[in-house]
Amino acid sequence: MGNSCRKPIVHVSSSNISGKGKSQSEVSKNSNSSDGKAASQTLGPTIDGSISSSLKSFSFNDLREATRNFRQENLIGEGGFGFVYKGWINESSFAPTRPGSGIMVAIKKLKPESFQGHKEWLAEVNYLGQLHHENVVKLIGYCSDGKNRLLVYEFMQRGSLENHLFRKGVQPISWAARINIAAGVARGLAFLHTLDANVIYRDLKASNVLLDSDFSPKLSDFGLARDGPTGDNTHVSTRIIGTQGYAAPEYVATGHLTLRSDVYSFGVVLLELLTGRRVVEAEKPGNSRETLVDWAMPFLRDGKRISRVMDMRLCGQYPKKGAQAAGALAHQCLNADPKYRPTMKSVLAKLEELHSSNTTIPSTPPKSESRNHTSKHARHALNSMRNTR
């Protein structure tokens, strides 16, 4: 991670290739109950039934043409599901067009050997075909042609939050933008949680938060989403699947999934936004199994020490009170006991309050002052991380 104090964000390219072996990051463990209903019974029709008529059914040839035969230069990312390509289609007919004409879309192509597979492709089609919200990515259509499974989304100009927070050489995101992103993600989750079906997203992580040209966030990847408990039921039982570090501890231990599992994952993303650090580092010195959460919790609890964990790339340009409040919120969301975690609705209310008070952010201190001040804390934070990991 860079420690130079560069001007917070304004413009970066979203043509990024994450290139990581996603399936390795999955936690999957069988519990005694099954998860044969990744596609919701309440929200999700099956592919044989009625797929939302608002979705366009593409032929494989259309999408091959839209991406110029899935050309390498159009590749924008890779995940557990498959590769994601840039493509161009006509806005009204959806027919493939030449690059630069029509609208740009993101086309995800399922790897035949995908760990996630058809069931999740179907869940994605079913959920996104029906859920429409400013903080949920728009699915334009799908392709189910022979063995080929693809998904066509609106193109999110700035790619994933993961790339902006953790990628070397990318402009840091400002405090105000981070709080706005956190609020948008919370709004998306609160929307899902308050639907009749109590939809649990289950896969919140920085790579699944996509950013629009103005950095407004949208949730993507509904392959693991499922309807939550209804009536007197407190949880749904599932096969444990999600991403290491982001999945709530009680869910990993028991397979019991609740809306509060999403709240925990939200706490992790909020912590990543504050610290600019990944919840689980790919390469960690020594054998320490300590995660970012273990390390940061004491600093989040004691607001006076919050600056010790803050992203050094913010160069101290954040309101101390705001950072303390955001840290305290992350602390609540990360409570090991789900019943003490707040609802997404109250998380959203807190973040909206923080967002509106952003006008009180102190103006940037003189550069040299800012640098010295921050580097002291930043050095300290880095050393603490090193010492404790």
Ligand X SMILES: Nc1ncnc2c1ncn2[C@@H]1O[C@H](COP(=O)(O)OP(=O)(O)OP(=O)(O)O)[C@@H](O)[C@H]1O
Annotated binding site for ATP: 109
Angle at 37 between CA 33 and CA 43, to 5 degrees: 140
Pick from Mg ion, ligand X, none: which does 153 bind, CB < 5 to 8 A by kind? ligand X
CB-wise, 18 or 52, nearer to ligand X? 18
Q: What tokens does 95 get?
A: 């027919």
Name the segment binding Mg ion (CB under 5 A); options: 92-100, 219-227, 298-306, 344-352: 219-227
- Position among 153, 166, 215, 295 found at the interface with ligand X (CB under 6 A): 153
Pick from ligand X, Mg ion, none: which does 291 bind, CB < 5 to 8 A by kind? none
CB-wise, 203 or 311, nearer to ligand X? 203
Nearest approach in angstroms of CB 174 to Mg ion is 24
Name the segment binding ligand X (CB under 6 A); options: 40-48, 53-61, 150-158, 268-276: 150-158
Which residue is nearest to ligand X, using beta carbons?
79
Half-sphere exposure of residue 387: CA atoms within 13 angstroms, side-chain side? 6
Question: Please, which of residues 91-110 interact with ligand X by CB under 6 A?
Answer: 106, 108
Angle at 38 between CA 33 and CA 44, to 5 degrees: 135
Residues 6+ apart with CB under 8 A from 334: 264, 267, 268, 271, 293, 297, 300, 341
- Angstrom CA distances, 115 to 28, 58, 240, stand at 11, 23, 14
By CB under 6 A, tell whether 77 contacts ligand X. Answer: yes
CB-wise, 79 or 276, nearer to Mg ion? 79
Question: Please, which of residues 8-47 interact with ligand X by CB under 6 A?
Answer: 16, 18, 22
Q: Binding pattern to Mg ion, positions 75-114, x when CB under 5 A? A: ----x-----------------------------------
Name the segment binding ligand X (CB under 6 A); options: 170-178, 203-211, 254-262, 272-280: 203-211
- Position among 162, 221, 227, 250 found at the interface with Mg ion (CB under 5 A): 221
CB 282 within 8 A of CB 222: no
Main-chain phi, psi angles of 139, to 5 degrees? -95, 125
CB-wise, 191 or 246, nearer to ligand X? 246
> Hey, is 27 helix, strand or coil?
strand
Question: Closest Cα partner for 321 from 277, 361, 371?
Answer: 361
Q: What tokens does 46 get?
A: 């099956």
CB atoms within 10 A of CB 53: 7
The site for ligand X, by CB under 6 A, has a size of 25
Beta-sheet pairing, 256-257 with 236-237: antiparallel
- Position among 58, 74, 81, 166 found at the interface with ligand X (CB under 6 A): 81
- 168 by Cβ neighbours in 10 Å (0-12 / 13-18 / 19+) ranks as exposed
Residues 6+ apart with CB under 8 A from 279: 245, 246, 268, 271, 272, 291, 292, 293
Q: Taking the alpha carbons of 255, 260, 265, 268 in that order, is the dihedral positive or negative?
A: negative
Catalytic residue among 35, 62, 203, 227: 203
Active site includes 337? no
Q: What tokens does 203 get?
A: 């896969």
Pick from Mg ion, ligand X, none: which does 18 bind, CB < 5 to 8 A by kind? ligand X
Q: Which amino acid is at 156?
A: M
Question: Please, which of residues 181-210 interact with Mg ion by CB under 5 A?
Answer: 208
CB-wise, 201 or 299, nearer to ligand X? 201
Query: Would you tell me which residues interact with Mg ion (CB under 5 A)?
Result: 79, 208, 221
Query: Would you tell me which residues interact with ligand X (CB under 6 A)?
Result: 16, 18, 22, 76-81, 84, 106, 108, 137, 153, 155-156, 159-160, 162-163, 207-208, 210, 220-221
Task: Please give the positions annotated as active site.
Answer: 203
